[in-house]
Structure 1
């Protein structure tokens, strides 16, 4: 009979982009379930504030590790710090992302490069930093936070959508690569979420960051033989 992993107590999760918004909400929700969480982002002060809040709850422990996800050596150091603090890494949440000027006609090359570096390379660096250990243990879960922009591009989202299409492609291909290894992959595509990145973009009712966090918890708490490959979360 397959073992059920409904309890996250004692498990370790790395969450990128965890200094606020969706990432902070995911980290808090995982900690509520008993997981130890390693928080990664560039904004050190905000990151430490989230860790302090989690550590005050007497649930899962939190460790803040300031990290530029676009820097491969810093991502490797992040995984090393997580292993040293809590042992093996059970869950890796690729949440960090950049939503900058995304049209081709704007010719904002530096902004395109930043989105590609964070949204694509950062995802791959994160996966690479933990995957060998997961495969060796025949256990682990990669969560990639993509976007509904990864299903359809608009005239204002060309480059951003391209990066999120790429995240979905990475998730789909990786799931096939890891079939029968015991390592699971879930791609989560949120619609418009009420965060600092989207604060002025629409007057339509937006999702809350906690809605995406609950989707992450849903995926990782499935029995070990269940792989939830794709979740799309949109506002009504």
Structure 2
């Protein structure tokens, strides 16, 4: 047969993610918890890799008289709800198909499926109720040593499994309920068991045994770690699935471990810059203060005696914990929750502060958006524009409200930029454009108001917003950047104008 090519537009919804979580028992928070996902570089819940894989299988030609024998899928870029993607399938024969999911012109998912003559694998009975986890484990890199084993039993929620079978017409593609359950098991293993809470699937391969028989709706699994690559925080595991001692399938999983970023601490800051009273009596405003550089510079300013009015959007628990870290005898952190891109809100809080604090001496413009790669192409242009517009608002509004009063007090305006404005990495045109625009606005405004402006261009920092598997190792701690900024603020010898801080950061 000639190669058959199909292209289909798909769109995932939040209901899809919820229904797939219930079906698969995979409640790993990157997929299922909006609050957790918000604090990651992705900024929102991402689509399950196995769901993407099943959608691709559903897009293949019908295969009457054939059954799935093996399938491999690689997950290259994260996918999100309410965006249009394109599935492309290439089928050269009844025995083999390739599939890809495109986000614009770039490949987000790619894989290959093989089939052999036979009937899709179905369980003989549906009365088993396997004991599955309800809360994911939380393993670290040290736990993922070669030879670590886990085992248990698994089956999706039968009613939900059957709903997905019908919706995706998988039996017509040669994929039975037992095969679908085995594929769903991979996301359960990675997200709930090995490594669990902070997992992100990279590549999944499953081989089904010829004439496999699933006696009832439960399969036993045995999985073993066969390698861990510290360079990329990636685990490899091999697993077998059995039903009453009869082999059903073998699987290999490549899974990134997204270990949490270490929280900012007083000890780390004081190792770099001992506490003092250098900024006693000064009032500082910090936007985006609940994590990363914002948290580090807020705590560092307080350790130098400043009263720090911190602004945050959602992360109340983190912000309150940070405020409690300030030792007695130092300055203080006073949190305010709101949207710094809303000029009316910023003016409202400044009016509240007028009597107690007066006008600020320092303003640190730091609030930012999750940083994911994008391409400069027509299909992604709207997303690029939205990113630039939203980032610009997060900086331009607080600049317009506080730069003039800070300049009037001969104080400092600090704008967090990035070395990317010079390097211009090709996968981040939106980020480069946003930071470049913010720098230009700040320079012009500082000249207008005769203020002192410090533009900070650090390398990638180890924060929640940059905590991707391939980026975390090539990064520096935000405390190092914060301390260099504070040292410069304490030295007030600069004349009116702007200065760029970019060469003094110590790499870890």
- Residue matched to 2:463: 195
- Residue matched to 1:34: 305
Q: Is the contact between residue 149 and residue 161 of structure 1 (CA under 8 Å) also seen in structure 2?
A: yes
Cα distance in structure 2, aligned partners of 1:107 and 1:226: 43
Structure 1 residue 173, shift from structure 2 partner = 2.2
- Cα-to-partner distance string for 1:50-87 (whole Å, 9 max, x where unaligned): 22222x44311221001222222222234334434422
Match of 1:160 among 431, 438, 454: 431
Cα distance in structure 2, aligned partners of 1:85 and 1:150: 38
- Residue matched to 1:185: 453
Normalising by structure 2, what TM-score? 0.41
Structure 1 residue 223, shift from structure 2 partner = 2.7
- Residue matched to 1:231: 501
2:382 is the alignment partner of 1:109? yes
- Residue matched to 1:210: 479
- Cα-to-partner distance string for 1:102-153 (whole Å, 9 max, x where unaligned): 3233517356424422x21221111111233234x34221100011112232
- Cα-to-partner distance string for 1:183-227 (whole Å, 9 max, x where unaligned): 211100111110111111425442111111112212211135546
- Residue matched to 2:253: none
Q: Is the contact between residue 462 and residue 472 of structure 2 (CA under 8 Å) also seen in structure 1?
A: no
Q: 1 or 2, which has the higher strand percentage?
A: 2
- Structure 1 unaligned segments of length 5 or more: list them: 1-5
Structure 1 residue 101, shift from structure 2 partner = 4.4
- Residue matched to 1:13: 284
Report 1 or 2 for greater relative contact order, CA contacts < 8 Å, sequence distance ≥ 6: 1
Q: Call closer, same or farther: CA 1:109–1:81 in 2, change over 3 Å.
A: farther
Q: Is the contact between residue 7 and residue 221 of structure 1 (CA under 8 Å) also seen in structure 2?
A: yes
Q: Is the contact between residue 103 and residue 156 of structure 1 (CA under 8 Å) also seen in structure 2?
A: yes
Match of 1:53 among 325, 349, 374: 325
Q: Is the contact between residue 39 and residue 51 of structure 1 (CA under 8 Å) also seen in structure 2?
A: no
Q: Is the contact between residue 29 and residue 213 of structure 1 (CA under 8 Å) also seen in structure 2?
A: yes
Normalising by structure 1, what TM-score? 0.84
Cα distance in structure 2, aligned partners of 1:150 and 1:77: 33
Of 8-17 and 164-173, deviating more is 164-173
